[in-house]
Every structure is written in structure tokens, then in C-alpha cells.
Amino acid sequence: MDRQLAALETANKLLLPVLRATRRIAAVARSSIDPSFTPIRVYSSGDRRIHVAVVNLPGSHPLVVAIYASTQRSRPTSPQQLARRLARLARFVGRLSGNEYAQADIVYVYMAPRGLTRGSIRLAVKSKIVYASEPSEARRKLAKYLAKRYRRLLASIMGKRVWGSVPLLAYALSLLARELGEPLHTPDPHQVLYWVENGVKGERVSTTYPTTSELTNNS
């Protein structure tokens, strides 16, 4: 039971910022594009080592954050242990595919308090997973991943006029990254609602705050 609680506590330090962000995303999405928008669903294994968060992103495939929280404190994770645990995590995620989503962007996260051996680190890099010895490190890495997606989206809409789910997706990505620790500007929700309904030039999405006239027109 102590190990289960330790695994749950570790996972929660990564999941709680995501949950905070999705509540705010849902409030804007329900007010604009979908009154029944469900922001996130979380699934966990019986031993609490595996936690999978399916985050619905407006106008995009869901983001799946698949976490394995190791409680091994005697030694660093070996390559054999990492391979077994990642295979178990992948099987858990695979059971959700088709029922919870058809396509998704999946980020695998492995957290171990004693870290990984050099061989395990090479395997983690080859497998393109987020690995960390502390939840704060995992938060930073996930935040950088989301910030990179956000900046790619901004680059793709530069010089274009966008509305509907596109500015809402930009808001969602920036908010998730910021809650996890990345220092990004996140537009005011009233601003986003105005953009969803009326459109906005792409270059303004990351640089503007709501004007008095826009807030008045959107009220």
C-alpha cells in the first residue's frame, strides 16, 4: 500500500497541473464551440504505477500522457526493467485506443526516484520517451514539448486569419505548457472567445491582450 501511495503521489505531481489547465480550457470550449466538451479522462492501473490522461484538444487529436511511476529505490532502473515497464505501459495505452480515441499524440513518461542507468537512458532516448528522476523534471520536459507544439502552430498561422477551434487550440497548448512551468503568454479567456467567433490574424494570437472594445463586444 505504501508503494501504491508513493506511485500515486509521484504521478499526481505531473497530473494536477494538467488537470488545472484542462478545467480552464473546458470553460472556454463549452462557452464557444461545444457545450458538452469533456476536457480530460484519466485511467490508472490497480497498483497505481500507470496513469494515462487523455486530454481533448480542440481542433486536434487528443494528447495522451502515459505515465509509469516507479517506486524502485534500491538502484537505478536497468534497461531490462525499463523495457518491461514500457511494454506494460504501451499495452495499457493500447487497450484505450479505439474506445477512447481513434488517433492521438502520445507522450510516454517514465519517472524513477533513483534514475536510470546509462543503458536505460540510451533506450529511453531511442524510444523517444520523457524520463525523469523527479516529477519537477518531468513537468519541465512535458512543458517544453507542449511549448514546441504551440510555437509550431503559431508559425503555421502567421499571415492567416483564423477562427473557431484554431485560436482555442493555441490557447489550450499555451495554457497546458504554462501550468507545467513554461513561461508563455496565455491570452485572456474573453479574448479567446472573441477570436473564436470573430477571427484573428495569426500573428496576434501570441502577442495581444484583450482590448476594451473586444471585451465589450464579446459580453
The domain total for the chain is 1
Structure confidence at residue 207 (pLDDT): 61
Low-confidence ranges of the chain (pLDDT < 70): 1, 206-219
Q: How far is CA 185 from CA 59, 174, 190, 207, in A?
A: 20, 7, 15, 7
CA distance linking residue 65 with residue 14, whole number of Å: 10
Range of the domain at 62: 2-218
The pLDDT of residue 214 is: 37
Order of strands, edge to edge, in the sheet holding 50-55? 40-44, 50-55, 63-69, 105-111, 130-132
At residue 64, the 3 state secondary structure works out as strand
- The reported pLDDT for the residue numbered 216 is 39
